[in-house]
Amino acid sequence: MLRRVKCQDRFPVRKGSRQLDTRIARFLRFPFSSGPPVLSIDVIRTLLAEDLRAVDDVVRARLHSDVALIRQVSEYIIGSGGKRLRPVLLLLAAGSCGYRGPHAHQLAAVVEFIHTATLLHDDVVDESDMRRGRTTANSVFGNPASVLVGDFLYSRSFQMMVSVGRPRVMEVLSDATNVIAEGEVMQLMNVHDPDITEDAYLGVIRYKTAKLFEAAGRLGAVLADASDTVESDLARFGMHLGTAFQVIDDVLDYSGETAETGKNLGDDLAEGKTTLPLIHVLRSGTRDEAALVRKAIAEGGLAEFGPVMAAITRTRALEYARNAARAEIDRAVAMLDRIESSPYKESLLHLAAFSVTRSQ
């Protein structure tokens, strides 16, 4: 039985307000050097246990293909784990607006398929050999198979979204996939370019990564027939959350442990990607440090990884990037002011805290 209750615009946002919910503020006030109490994503999943089982059932059913290689590649990457953050966000957004039902499960699987398709394509473009602690699909099955199975997942996603029978759903997801593709090309154009500005870097993130988070938040509101204002708020929550998530991902490339992050330390530098820690060194480092980083970005590889790390440490570039991520989460949390209190809203706040305290 479906339950649908419209969100109420009961809590107007105060202009210029940056006051955080006390729960999330408790996490975000801690300095990252000492570390806040890290919230496991598993705590959030407990609320959604029944829904996530239903999503997994949809994923397994819709991965079916008579073509054996499609099944093998799809099951390989989807079965490799992952946080399922985008499906979780969609389910929490829908729940915060009073909707729980099969359409949420269907669309949660859709956003996971779209995300998985982008990973398959990313690993080919980046020539990556490790993802989620496992050998990448393109390393196992080859680049052609990875690209084509990514295409299959995109097309299967569109079949599934059509079956929901909501034109607004198709509008949101078709726009998202188009923007994501543009973001992929933008990132490709920026590789080995040390002159990328912070604004340009964040622009790529908004397109390539944050857009699917934005769509997940928006779709939860769409399913609940929420007001345009609430739909916009949940979409913007997702956009800021996704931006923060990617900035922290870029921080972990210089500070994480391979066993936790599931990828090799320094992959971004090896691929010539100008991420926020490097942008900060270029802007705030000495002339020699800036020259070193410019050379490392332009040439790629890890020959200069040690000296680059020393420059990152001296300029406190990782702290700068973490603060930028926390500022995004501050903006995300402000978007929840109009959402009625519930376990789903509380979990959205916890999801925001997790995104900037995680180590993987």
DSSP per-residue letters across 161-199: HHHHT-HHHHHHHHHHHHHHHHHHHHHHHHTT-TT--HH
Cα separation of 305 and 66, whole Å?
46
Judge whether 320 and 311 are in contact, CB under 8 Å: no
pLDDT in single tens digits along all 360 residues of the chain = 334 334 433 223 333 333 444 445 554 443 333 344 445 677 788 899 999 999 999 999 999 999 999 999 988 888 776 789 999 999 999 999 999 999 999 999 999 999 999 999 998 998 888 776 688 889 989 999 999 999 999 999 999 999 999 999 999 999 999 999 999 999 999 999 999 999 999 999 999 999 999 999 999 999 999 999 999 999 999 999 999 999 999 999 999 665 455 568 899 999 999 999 999 999 999 999 999 999 999 999 999 999 999 999 999 999 999 999 999 999 999 999 999 999 999 999 999 999 998 876
Question: Could you state, in order of their start, the residue ranges of all structural domains in the chain?
Answer: 22-357
pTM of this prediction exceeds 0.85: yes
Alpha carbons 304 and 296: distance in angstroms, whole number: 6
Q: How distant, in Å, are the alpha carbons of 207, 233, 289 from that of 199?
A: 12, 22, 21
Cβ contact 75:143 at 8 Å: no
Length of the chain: 360
Q: According to the model, what pLDDT value does residue 80 have?
A: 73
Which two tokens mark 142? 């080859």
pLDDT score at 2:
39
DSSP string across 245-304: HHHHHHHHHHH--HHHHSS-TTHHHHTT---HHHHHHHHHS-HHHHHHHHHHHHH-SSTT
Provide the CATH number for the domain formed by 22-357 in this structure. Answer: 1.10.600.10
Report the pLDDT value the prediction gives residue 350, as an integer from 0 to 100.
Answer: 93
Distance CA 280, CA 320 (A): 8
The torsion angles phi and psi of 131, rounded to 5 degrees, stand at -150, 125
Rounded CA gap, 44 and 350, in Å?
Answer: 7
pLDDT at 31: 37
